[in-house]
A and B are shown apart, each in its own frame.
Chain A
C-alpha cells in the first residue's frame, strides 16, 4: 500500500497562491491518475497520464495542471486555488492491460485559507 506515495499529507495554502502536490510510485506503472475528493463525495477524475500522454477530463478546470517528468513521479499544480478547491487529492496508478487494479496513495488534504 505504501507503493503510491503522496506528499505532503496535509497542505495549507492561501487563496490564489499556487500550490503543487506530488506523487510517486515504485510499481513502474504506465498509468497515473489524479482524483479530487470533496467532503462526503465520491472521488472525481481530474486527468491521467498514459506514459507521457496527458489526458484531461472535459470538466476539469483550467486552474488545474499536471506534470509527469518520468514514470515514477507525477505532480498536480493548482495555479490559483479557490475556496472550492479545498479537498482530498488522490493520486493513483495502474499497470495497464491485465493489471487494472487501481491503487490509491494516501492522499493530500488541501486547505485553502
Chain B
C-alpha cells in the first residue's frame, strides 16, 4: 500500500518568514495530493491540493509543488502569520476509483512566532 513520509515533524518560524513542508510517497499510481490544516480540537480543513498532471499550484500565500518523477511534493507558505500556526498534513490518494481514500503523512506542527 501507499506510504507517505512527511518532514519536518515540527517547524518554528518568525512571522513574515516562509515555511516549507515536504512529503514523499511510495505508490507511483497516486495521482491526487491534498494538504490539510488542523487546529487543535478541530477538523482537518483542505487548504490546497494538486493533481499529478500539474507541477505547481498557488493560492495566495500558499503553494504546492509536485515532482512526480521523484515522488515528492511540498507545501510552501509565504509571509507567515501567527494564525498559520497549526498541524499540517499532506496526503496521497491512489489512482482508479479510490476517491477520498487518503494516506496521510505524520503531520507537521507549525508555530509562527509574532
Report the stretch among B13-21, B57-65, B71-79, B95-103 that lies at the interface. Answer: B95-103
Report yes or no: B100 in contact with A42, Cβ–Cβ below 8 A. no
- B38 smallest CB distance to A (angstroms): 9
The interface size of chain B toward A, counting residues with CB under 8 Å, comes to 21
Contact of A48 (CB < 8 Å), options: B34, B44, B100, B104: B100
Report yes or no: A97 in contact with B97, Cβ–Cβ below 8 A. yes
Report yes or no: A101 in contact with B46, Cβ–Cβ below 8 A. yes
Complex Cα–Cα for A95 and B99 (A): 8
Given A42-B89, A42-B105, A42-B106: A100 and B43 within 8 A (CB)?
Answer: no
Report yes or no: B100 in contact with A106, Cβ–Cβ below 8 A. no
Q: How large is the interface on A (under 10, 10 to 19, 20 to 34, 35 or more residues)?
A: 20 to 34
Is residue A81 contacting chain B, with contact meaning CB distance below 8 A? no
- Chain B, Cβ-Cβ closest to A4: B43
Report yes or no: B97 in contact with A50, Cβ–Cβ below 8 A. yes
Chain A residues near B (Cβ < 8 Å): 1, 31, 33, 40-45, 48, 50, 90, 92-97, 100-107, 109
Chain B residues near A (Cβ < 8 Å): 32, 34, 41-46, 49, 89, 93, 97, 99-107
